[in-house]
Structure 1
């Protein structure tokens, strides 16, 4: 028997990076996993590779969230693990030069979408269920040209703690995992060229006490740990940092 036999998990943004690695880890432990993503081809390809169930949904689109909820309610019933992972960094833009489109794109996915994914799925969560938000160490850092991304993650941490207090009577736990620099595709999506990306990677590694980047698998294993009610039943409202000591 594996630890998540007969458990249903949802992973938003599950077609790549940390979401993909977490879905893989959950499946290896016996869970039935539904992964979501915005691009039909990418999410179906990932689901086939993983042995997951694909659902095309944009976390920023509240109608998509409602459709996902109805489909799961009709097909599967209750949910045991909810990993709210989907997110974007947006452009590296100063506050002075910030445009409304970039602000809205980041906030609609990272905060508004995450908030209403949580809100929508609460009625489907079993007693003893686990909710994990993918946050970031940027929630408590204040680097130039990253104001919106940082603010979106700080807001996410705030609602996660409130949710932990609200859902405790139902024995539903809510936690946050905050990675530091991690080898995923998200930085490529920020629009950086190869030379800039390579220079940034070298800089970050030099800033990390353990002198290496984290991996998606490092984060996935922690999400799975927090999702296990038998070993993490007394952990809620907690932010766990996975950053190689960067914020020491």
Structure 2
């Protein structure tokens, strides 16, 4: 249970990729705390569900801005920030949650996977974060706001068959550090949360069949040190904490691994423990 807070009352929060999963859980949590929120994603149907969940959590309809679109589109990113500030008059929190692993079906592995897969992965997981953050900074400076980048534990040293996703998340972690170091002088705090296995629609959205995705997560439950995958709400609580200045003002430029012990366990194996 989070400590009671009124910090987010009337604050303005923009969460990318908030039509499902971690983004949805986060934006609903902010809405329940009295924040005015922008929900955004590519699926109008899923955005409508997110909006209804925000209302069910206590938000009024006028406290929610719903904008559908693709964050890899620079024009859409400009619209997203401009309409958020235009409607609510300010911006206090930016959560860069939109991201994905694009499965490649060329039959290639590792660095032999076609460069187009690299380009699309970096566009979504890194370039879009830079673009929206650049646009948000002037507004966050006015409010002494916060940015949380949603990364992944694959940013840590893991070797997997499709390397461009972990490469993009390692890049995002370095971006978090660079942003934090420069933006704290403007009063803006930047951190990242690096989830491990979380039961979301992520694998299904990336091309895995729904039943296959379920079996995948079930098998992970058994293999994780904690004995279970995390939930979107688990990560939302960390995002909520990192953006509440009254709770986490001293935390700047950090990567918070939220993985049920996965990294610790794998490091132990590597060390022969």
TM over 0.5: yes
Q: How much does 1:94 deviate?
A: 1.6
Matching of residue 79 in structure 1 with residue 91 in structure 2:
yes
Q: For 1:68-114, what per-residue CA distance to the aligned partner results, in whole angstroms no more than 9, with x for missing partners? A: 12222322222111111001111156225412332222111111111
CA distance in 2, matches of 1:84, 1:33: 14
Q: Work out which of the residue numbers 168, 187, 196 in structure 1 matches 2:203.
A: 187
SS of the equivalent of 1:187 reads: helix
From the two aligned structures, give the one with the greater strand fraction: 1
1:32-43 to structure 2, matched below 5 A, reads: 32-43=36-47
| Aligned twin of 2:267 | none
TM-score scaled by structure 1?
A: 0.93
Q: Is the 8 A contact 1:207 1:246 kept in 2?
A: no
Q: What's the RMSD between the two structures over aligned residues?
A: 1.7
CA distance in 2, matches of 1:44, 1:242: 28
Q: How much does 1:222 deviate?
A: 0.6
| Aligned twin of 2:28 | 24
Matching of residue 48 in structure 1 with residue 52 in structure 2:
yes
| Aligned twin of 1:156 | 172
SS of the equivalent of 1:183 reads: coil
Q: Is the 8 A contact 1:127 1:170 kept in 2?
A: no
Q: How much does 1:171 deviate?
A: 1.6
Structure 1: which 4+ aligned runs deviate by more than 6 Å?
none
| Aligned twin of 2:270 | none
Matching of residue 213 in structure 1 with residue 229 in structure 2:
yes
Q: Is the 8 A contact 2:15 2:97 kept in 1?
A: yes
Aligned length: 248
SS of the equivalent of 2:148 reads: strand
SS of the equivalent of 2:262 reads: coil
Matching of residue 106 in structure 1 with residue 121 in structure 2:
yes
Q: Is the 8 A contact 1:94 1:144 kept in 2?
A: no
What runs of 5+ residues in structure 2 fail to find an aligned partner? 56-63, 265-273
Classify 1:206/1:143 alpha carbon distance in 2 versus 1 (closer, same or farther; 3 Å).
Answer: farther
Matching of residue 172 in structure 1 with residue 176 in structure 2:
no
Moved more, 10-19 or 125-134: 125-134
Q: For 1:163-214, what per-residue CA distance to the aligned partner results, in whole angstroms no more than 9, with x for missing partners? A: 1011111221000000000000001112223564344324422331111000
Q: Is the 8 A contact 2:177 2:253 kept in 1?
A: yes
| Aligned twin of 2:102 | 90
Q: How much does 1:47 deviate?
A: 1.6
From the two aligned structures, give the one with the greater helix fraction: 2
TM-score scaled by structure 2?
A: 0.85
What runs of 5+ residues in structure 1 fail to find an aligned partner? none
